[in-house]
Structure 1
Amino acid sequence: MAPENTPVHIIQLIKEITGFIQKGSPITYLGCPLYIGRQRIIYYSDLVAKVMKKISGWQSKILSVGGRATLIKHVLQSISIHNMAAISPPKTTIQYMKRVIADFLWGWDKEKKKISLGILGNS
């Protein structure tokens, strides 16, 4: 944040010259949220959105279960490897991503109970 005593025209001039933008917390550095204080689920919304964007782009109806499993192992789980190594997201975020990935693997039918083979790790 800009100091309270700095005039607005000075802040605008600095933004124009440097090309920087002013952003609140958390900021993202190398794909990981940087924040001060307690961990919040909302800080990891970009990671979840990235997984959701990949899934929405794939058409699971034309892929076999093996094809979907391959995409999960090589694409979806690799998205979060860096984040998991650098920081530890909240358990709620991890559980949500596992549920979204399992729904993609087994289909979108919410009325039937899905079978899990444990390829996504322990629940």
Structure 2
Amino acid sequence: MIGVKASRNGPQISHLLFSYDCIPFGEANVNGVETFRTILTEYESCSGQRVNYDKFIVFYSSNTSKRDRRTISGILRVRYSNDPESYSGLPNMVGRNKKLSFQILKDRFRQMIENWSVRYLSQGGKKVFIKVVLQAIPTYSMACFLLPKFLYGKLESIMAKFWWQKRYGKKGIHRCGWDQLCELKENGVLGFKSLPKFNVALLAKQGWCILYYPNLLLV
């Protein structure tokens, strides 16, 4: 199979693996799809596993004709889409689905808080819930993108409202700003993560990998 290049001088990428998922790349023609089917057949016979074609989606480049799309999808007997969708809450094409991805993050925060099991947490339980659950939700996104300031404000507003409310559905008095709650525990404060600083730290880790491991596929 002929892979795809992310840059002119970069390597050809035939596939990407994400935990239990696989994204293969190939040419949008009959020869390419027949080769792909042969690979899948051999994989099934060697591993004893079977590919679930109901979850299979094909994405085509913009210069692939509609006729070729229908032909290839018919051979594979899978559906195809013009929308790259998202993976782990992140858009595969940033420019098109960026706003949708941001909305997904906010919705996940609210859904977690709306869960009946967290409605009656003590203040100590809320502290653990914010640190372990809520502030862990955007970690994957922040390791890939520098999130906009307005999104930090939305997420921190949701956490602050949850922290200060007296009981479920009742607003509480915000006795100090969220930035103050993010100060170090050594200073006698709660030590919540500052999302903007945490975002920069995660991206700095990616930058460190690029500087010291120039042969990584990421580079």
| TM-score > 0.5, shorter chain as reference | yes
1:7 CA drift (Å): 3.6
Residue 81 (structure 1) aligned with residue 139 (structure 2): yes
Q: 1:37 to 1:122 in 2, by over 3 A?
A: closer
Distance across 2 between alignment mates of 1:58 and 1:102 = 19
1:46 Cα shift? 1.4
Given the alignment, which residue of 9, 18, 22 partners 2:81? Answer: 22
SS in 1 for 2:66: coil
Q: Is this contact kept in 2: 1:15–1:21, CA < 8 A? A: no
Give the AA of the match of 2:181: G
Aligned ranges 1:106-121 → 2 under 5 Å: 106-107=164-165, 108-110=169-171, 113-116=173-176, 117-119=180-182, 120=192, 121=194
Aligned to 1:6: 66
Q: CA deviation at 1:72?
A: 0.5
The residue that corresponds to 2:89 in the other structure is: 31
Unaligned 5+ segments in structure 2 are: 1-59, 183-191, 197-219
Identity fraction in percent: 22
Distance, in Å, in 2 between the alignment partners of 1:48 and 1:58 is 18
Please tell me whether the aligned partners of residues 48 and 97 of structure 1 are also in contact (alpha carbons under 8 angstroms): yes
2-side partners of 1:122 and 1:9: how far apart?
A: 43
Shift of 1:15: 7.1
Is the 1:40–1:90 contact (alpha carbons within 8 Å) kept by the matching residues of 2? no
In the other structure, the counterpart of 2:23 is: none
Using the TM superposition, name which of 35-44 and 61-70 deviates more.
35-44
C-alpha distance in 2 between matches for 1:17 and 1:39 = 27
Q: Which residue of 2 aligns with 1:42?
A: 100
| CA separation of 1:65 and 1:20: change in aligned 2, threshold 3 A | farther
**Which deviates the most, 38-47 or 83-92?**
38-47
Partner deviation per Cα, 1:1-48 (whole Å, 9 max, x = no partner): 66574249826x7178364541526x3234322335489543311122
* Contact kept? 2:164, 2:173, Cα under 8 Å: no
Q: Which has the higher contact order (CA 8 A, sep 6+)?
A: 1
Contact 1:32 1:83 in 2 (8 A): yes
Q: Does 1:97 align with 2:177?
A: no
Partner-residue secondary structure (3-state), 1:88? coil
Q: Indicate how the Cα distance of structure 1 residues 15 and 82 shifts in structure 2: closer, same or farther if over 3 A, else same.
A: farther
Equivalent pair of 1:33/1:44 in contact (CA under 8 Å) = no
Tell me the SS of whatever aligns to 2:153.
helix
* 5+ residue gaps, structure 1: none
Mapped partners of 1:81, 1:4: distance in 2: 35
The structure with the greater share of residues assigned to helix is 1
Count of aligned pairs between the two proteins:
120
